[in-house]
Amino acid sequence: MLLDLVVSVLAAGAWIASALVRNRLLVSFAIAATAARAVTVALLAGSGWWFVQDKVTLTLPLLLAFAVVAMVRRTPTAYLAAGYAALAGPVFTLLHGYPATWTSGLITVALVGGGATLTARVRGATRLRAAAVASATVLMVGVVLSFVAASSTVDPLGTVSLSSLRGPDSPVPGGTVRRFDLTARQATVTLASGATVRAWTFNGQVPGPPLTAAVGDLVEVTLHNADIAGGADGRSASSRGGVTLHWHGYDVPVAEDGVPGLTQDAVAPGESFVYRFRADRAGTYWYHTHEVSNEGVRMGLYGSLVVTGSAPSPAGVDLTLPLHTFNGSTVVGASDVVECRSVVPGTTVRLRLINTDNTPRVVGVVGSPVRVAAVDGTDLNEPDPVEEAGLRIAAGGRYDVTFTMPDRPVALRIAHSSSGLSFLPPGASVAPSADVGSWPVLDLLHYGHPAATPFGAGSRFDRSFTLVLDRGLAGTSYAYTVNGDAFPDVPTEVVRQGDLVRFTIVNRSQDIHPWHLHGHRVLVLSRDGSAPTGSPLWLDTFDVRPGEVWQVAFRADNPGIWMNHCHNLAHADQGMVLHLAYEGVRSDFHGAHGG
Ligand code: C2O
Ligand code: CU
């Protein structure tokens, strides 16, 4: 790639220099660099480089065409034009990226052609009308095409209305109804360290009240909004400010999913909304607002949702600990300092860690081996104890970490943070410490033991989608993009109920993208081509790191229209969002909203 970039720049420089100084050697060098560019592109294509498409279909042919003209005509103008064409390669790759489309292709051709024409004009050439008209026409076609490009988010003709897909209103026989009231309001919260934060809260606290239920229960949450009007970003009519509740990782019926403009309207100050769903799977989840969530979650509109199995859980310490950054310091659970707890040796301790930030967090347990018992709510198969392992939790992800209290102190520590939690046996007062950020990170793809899964890499998939995550020009903004487009221009992925669906997610950018599909958990098939060797991994949020290629699969068994987005909510806000829609379902709301 680097070589390709270098020869492009050399070719551009040599062609332009040839126009300025008369030197046969320079021209030969420009020709050689152009030929070298053809070789580097061929090498990239031959070695399976994912992003060679724009070079093969657009920028290399453009360069070769102008180079041939330059070699035939041997005029300074032709040399300059070849230079522009050579420059178009790296500029296109850096600014636009993969994939080259008709729109971006035509605009590039028009700019190079227009540049050449203009250069000729400046250098005194005449009879350029045809060239000018051609460039302008190509440019216009490209621009017009960009406006007619896919801008659909939902199927307006579906016969099933999304709002009919609500949760049930009774528990399963034997279950109970768990009622909660959450009132969103602004408050000044005093943390354990004495620091105060201006926060957006549920019931005046951060995190919001922990919600718990047992499998079989009906969860009924009434959301009120006292005074959260913020969030209205003024960019779309549907963004009217307010709050919603999204049950992150919990596969509720779509009308309960809390996406403003898609599954409901945001709840404005003075309004309320009732969410109902059955607790049908045990595990650690969380809830958060989805109205301009980048701001709302950061300000404090989040809390935990823990569902326990129907069997009584073994006695022990069971702590739910969302990790959240306020004003640069980490709040673990509800505390921004190291809290101490006294625990009797032999007690089972379970820490339910939830990363509510936009970037991954590394945590570690000092003083005891631990098992990662569950990730994103799903138990891992036969997790082995690990010691001094950095546990890297994706933004939005959850790790359930367990250990048996030894007769010495144990500590939960968080990289780049002075917050944490210490567990002290009776009589002890000092907890161990360590720089857990320097520990080797546990790779979940090689942790635990294999087990049967309902489908796998060898299955026949009814649908396969590829999502290339990048950053670049989309329309008029420099956005976080999916396949070169930003929300709402990323085409909706359409599936049928019952389909087995495969996603290939490729990160072409320099940022980590924690990918999150609403309404479904996905099974990891591979990362960079290698399958997991440990426990099956069912995730709802997974980090696709720069350069990585992930393949995941899921069964389309929850009809609706679902958000599919990056859970770095700042990236989502800048375009990295699309929808997954079931055939036949239509939204009753009219906002093309990314939440
Ligand atoms: Cu926790 Cu759409 O996200
Ligand atoms: Cu991202």
pLDDT, average across residues 357-370: 96
pLDDT, average across residues 293-299: 90
Distance, in Å, from the CA atom of 198 to the CA atom of 295, rounded to the nearest integer, reads: 13
Does 54 or 549 have the greater pLDDT score?
Answer: 549
Note whether 513 and 420 are same-domain residues: no
Residue numbers of the domain that contains 362: 314-451
Note whether 541 and 427 are same-domain residues: no
Ligand 1 near 565 CB (within 6 A): yes
Please report whether residue 222 resides in a domain.
no
Helix ranges, 451-534 (H): none
Note whether 329 and 371 are same-domain residues: yes
Note whether 427 and 335 are same-domain residues: yes
Stated pTM of the model: 0.85
Note whether 576 and 461 are same-domain residues: yes
Confidence of residue 255 (pLDDT cuts 50, 70, 90): very high
Does 253 or 151 have the greater pLDDT score?
Answer: 253
116, 148, 180 — which closes off a domain?
148
Q: CB–CB of 254/165 below 8 Å? A: yes
Q: Return the pLDDT at 240.
A: 60
| pLDDT tens per residue across span 496-513 | 999 999 999 999 999 999
Q: Return the pLDDT at 233.
A: 47
| pLDDT tens per residue across span 70-111 | 999 999 999 999 999 999 998 988 887 777 888 889 999 999
Note whether 370 and 496 are same-domain residues: no
Note whether 447 and 458 are same-domain residues: no
Q: Look at the block and give the residue holding tokens 């005029």.
A: 75
Ligand nearest to the CA of 360: 2
CA of 168 from ligand 1 middle (Å) equals 22
Residue 144: pLDDT over 60? yes
Residue 372 bridge partners (DSSP): 401
Helix ranges, 123-155 (H): 129-148
Distance, in Å, from the CA atom of 213 to the CA atom of 280, rounded to the nearest integer, reads: 10
Note whether 323 and 426 are same-domain residues: yes
Cα 233 → chain centroid: 21
Ligand nearest to the CA of 594: 1
Confidence of residue 234 (pLDDT cuts 50, 70, 90): very low
State the CATH number of the domain containing residue 520. 2.60.40.420
Distance, in Å, from the CA atom of 9 to the CA atom of 112, rounded to the nearest integer, reads: 16
Please report whether residue 291 resides in a domain.
no
Distance, in Å, from the CA atom of 423 to the CA atom of 36, rounded to the nearest integer, reads: 63
**Per-chain residues with Cβ under 5 A from ion ligand 2:** 513, 566, 568, 571
Q: Return the pLDDT at 294.
A: 86
Distance, in Å, from the CA atom of 172 to the CA atom of 278, rounded to the nearest integer, reads: 8
Ligand 1 near 518 CB (within 6 A): yes
Ligand 1 near 60 CB (within 6 A): no
- Please, what sign has the CA dihedral across residues 86, 90, 92, 93? positive
Tell me phi and psi for residue 404, to 5 degrees: -100, 125
State how many domains the chain has. Answer: 3
Q: CB–CB of 292/246 below 8 Å? A: no
Distance, in Å, from the CA atom of 537 to the CA atom of 548, rounded to the nearest integer, reads: 17
Note whether 440 and 477 are same-domain residues: no
Q: Return the pLDDT at 454.
A: 97
Q: Return the pLDDT at 157.
A: 64
Ligand 1 near 288 CB (within 6 A): yes
Give the ligand 1 atom nearest the CA of 396: 1
Ligand 1 near 398 CB (within 6 A): no
CA of 315 from ligand 2 middle (Å) equals 40
Ligand 1 near 563 CB (within 6 A): yes
Q: CB–CB of 187/204 below 8 Å? A: yes
Please choose, from the candidates 291, 289, 292, the residue with its C-alpha nearest in 3D space to the C-alpha of residue 301. 289
Cα 281 → chain centroid: 24
Does 434 or 148 have the greater pLDDT score?
Answer: 434
Residue 236: pLDDT over 60? no
Q: Return the pLDDT at 239.
A: 52
426, 451, 476 — which closes off a domain?
451
pLDDT, average across residues 193-200: 92
Does 274 or 233 have the greater pLDDT score?
Answer: 274
Residue 546: pLDDT over 60? yes
pLDDT, average across residues 247-255: 96
Structure letter (DSSP) for residue 312 = P
Note whether 444 and 491 are same-domain residues: no
Q: Return the pLDDT at 566.
A: 96
Please report whether residue 181 resides in a domain.
no
Which string of DSSP letters, residue by residue, matches 338-406?
A: EEEEE--TT-EEEEEEEE-SSS-EEEEEESS-BEEEEETTEEPSSPPPBSS-BEEEPTT-EEEEEEE--
Supply 449's token pair.
């033991």
Q: CB–CB of 247/257 below 8 Å? A: yes
| pLDDT tens per residue across span 206-218 | 999 999 999 999 9
| pLDDT tens per residue across span 172-181 | 888 899 999 9
- The winner for highest mean pLDDT among 54-63, 117-126, 443-452, 571-580 is 443-452
Please report whether residue 504 resides in a domain.
yes
Residue 42: pLDDT over 60? yes
Ligand nearest to the CA of 258: 1
Give the ligand 1 atom nearest the CA of 572: 2
Ligand nearest to the CA of 249: 1
Please report whether residue 528 resides in a domain.
yes
Ligand 1 near 579 CB (within 6 A): no
| pLDDT tens per residue across span 162-173 | 888 988 888 888
Note whether 349 and 436 are same-domain residues: yes
Mean pLDDT of the chain: 91
Diameter of the chain by CA atoms?
95
Q: CB–CB of 287/302 below 8 Å? A: yes
Please report whether residue 130 resides in a domain.
yes
89, 116, 148 — which closes off a domain?
148
CA of 576 from ligand 2 middle (Å) equals 7
Residue nearest to atom 3 of ligand 1 (CA): 248
Which regions of 144-269 does DSSP assign to beta strands (E)? 160-161, 177-190, 196-202, 211-214, 218-225, 246-248
Residue 1: pLDDT over 70? yes
Please report whether residue 508 resides in a domain.
yes
Confidence of residue 238 (pLDDT cuts 50, 70, 90): very low
Q: Return the pLDDT at 498.
A: 96
pLDDT, average across residues 511-531: 96
| pLDDT tens per residue across span 12-37 | 999 999 999 888 899 999 999 999 99
CA of 347 from ligand 2 middle (Å) equals 39
Confidence of residue 449 (pLDDT cuts 50, 70, 90): very high
Q: CB–CB of 575/522 below 8 Å? A: no
Alpha carbon dihedral 547, 325, 250, 562, in 10-degree steps, equals -60
Please report whether residue 204 resides in a domain.
no
Please choose, from the candidates 512, 224, 434, 193, the residue with its C-alpha nearest in 3D space to the C-alpha of residue 326. 193
Q: CB–CB of 184/193 below 8 Å? A: no
Ligand 1 near 30 CB (within 6 A): no
Q: Return the pLDDT at 311.
A: 67
Note whether 102 and 40 are same-domain residues: yes
Distance, in Å, from the CA atom of 375 to the CA atom of 537, rounded to the nearest integer, reads: 8
CA of 303 from ligand 1 middle (Å) equals 13
Please choose, from the candidates 306, 304, 358, the residue with its C-alpha nearest in 3D space to the C-alpha of residue 332. 304
CA of 376 from ligand 1 middle (Å) equals 13
Please choose, from the candidates 348, 432, 353, the residue with its C-alpha nearest in 3D space to the C-alpha of residue 392. 353
| pLDDT tens per residue across span 557-567 | 999 999 999 99
pLDDT above 70 as % of the chain: 95
Confidence of residue 526 (pLDDT cuts 50, 70, 90): very high
Residue 153: pLDDT over 80? no
Q: Return the pLDDT at 163.
A: 85
